[in-house]
Amino acid sequence: MENMYYAAGVVAGIFVAGIAVLVKKFSAKEKQQFDERQIIARLRGYKLGFFTMMIFNAAYAIYAMMIEKPILNTDISMILSIVLGGLVFSVYVIWKDAYAELHKGRKNFLLLFGAVGLLNLLSGIRNLEDNAAIVESGSSQLYLLNFFASILCGISFLALAIKGLSERKEEE
Amino acid sequence: MKNLKLKSARAAMDLSQQELADRIGVSRQTISAIEKGDYNPTINLCIAICKCLDKSLDELFWE
């Protein structure tokens, strides 16, 4: 039952985040602006992310066929494939300087990734302290999602920070 | 291959990569990538750069 509430919380969170993104997109005065190199890099990033997702799903299908009761259940693997695809996209695009629009710094993204990653990590640790099982009767549980999200944000944060530092050196 | 002609034309006009990028509406990293030879710009961007630096396409982009 608790797991159901958790899943409902995740769905509600995704719904609210989706609405917030849509509201921001339609209320923005200026259109998102990327230059031609950034657009190409973003398209390559989408393609890489998509193929990562497909390859992970194919690998999971083979794994699930070979093992009677896989530790990674189907729901979690679906979400993990999306997280992996998103991670590949964000790291590639950050590395190609195409994450932020023209004239927009990376500070806001650093803050966002840092805060969301930290909150998810704290939430995951709190779940563990409350004895919520990450693996129950041989199958992974939804509580893993907090750790997935914190890893996604953490790696994106690191990529942004490292790219920022290397660029500062280049400018000097 | 590095585009040294672009770099020297920019330097001759005393423009930084950021200033040139702002004038033609691209990111500084795009100018840097063109100068380093990591990115092949479209003809539209080449023309915009040439107009800004008061050079011809041949002078900046033809080898």
Nearest residue on chain A to B26, alpha-carbon basis: A35
Q: With a CB-CB cutoff of 8 Å, which residues 105-164 of chain A face chain B?
A: none
HEC string for A70-87: CCCCHHHHHHHHHHHHHH
Tell me, rounded to whole angstroms, the distance of Cα A18 from its chain centroid: 14
Interface contact B26-A170, CB threshold 8 A: no
Q: Smallest Cβ distance to B45: which of A36, A97, A167? A: A36
Whether residue B3 lies within 8 A of chain A, CB to CB, comes out as: no
pLDDT in tens, A44-63: 999 999 999 999 999 999 98
Residue A3: band (very low, low, confident or very high) from pLDDT cuts 50, 70, 90: low
Residue A3, C-beta contacts closer than 8 angstroms, at least 6 positions apart: A141, A142
Contact A167 B29 (CB under 8 A): yes
Residues B4 and A109: their CA atoms lie apart, in Å, by: 34
Nearest residue on chain B to A101, alpha-carbon basis? B27
What's residue A106's pLDDT? 81
The runs of H, that is alpha helices, within chain B are: 4-12, 17-24, 28-36, 43-53, 57-61
Span B10-60, pLDDT tens digits: 999 999 999 999 999 999 999 999 999 999 999 999 999 999 999 999 989
How close is the nearest chain B Cα to the Cα of A76, in Å?
Answer: 38
The interface predicted TM-score of the complex, written ipTM, equals 0.87
What is the identity of the amino acid at A93? V
Architecture of domain B4-55: Orthogonal Bundle (1.10)
**B positions 18-37 inside 8 Å of A (CB):** 25-27, 29-30, 32-33
- d(CA B59, nearest CA chain A) in Å: 22
Query: What is the pLDDT averaged over residues A4-29?
Result: 77
Mean local confidence (pLDDT), A110-116? 92
Nearest residue to A63 (alpha-carbon basis) of A51, A49, A47, A80: A80
Cross-chain residue pair B27–A170, CB shorter than 8 Å: no
Q: What is the rounded average pLDDT for all residues in chain A?
A: 85
Q: A residues 65-84 near B, CB within 8 Å? A: none
Task: Note the residue count of chain A.
Answer: 172
* Beta strand spans in chain A (E): 135-136, 139-140
pLDDT band at A30 (very low <50, low <70, confident <90, very high): low
Chain B residues touching A42 at Cβ < 8 A: none
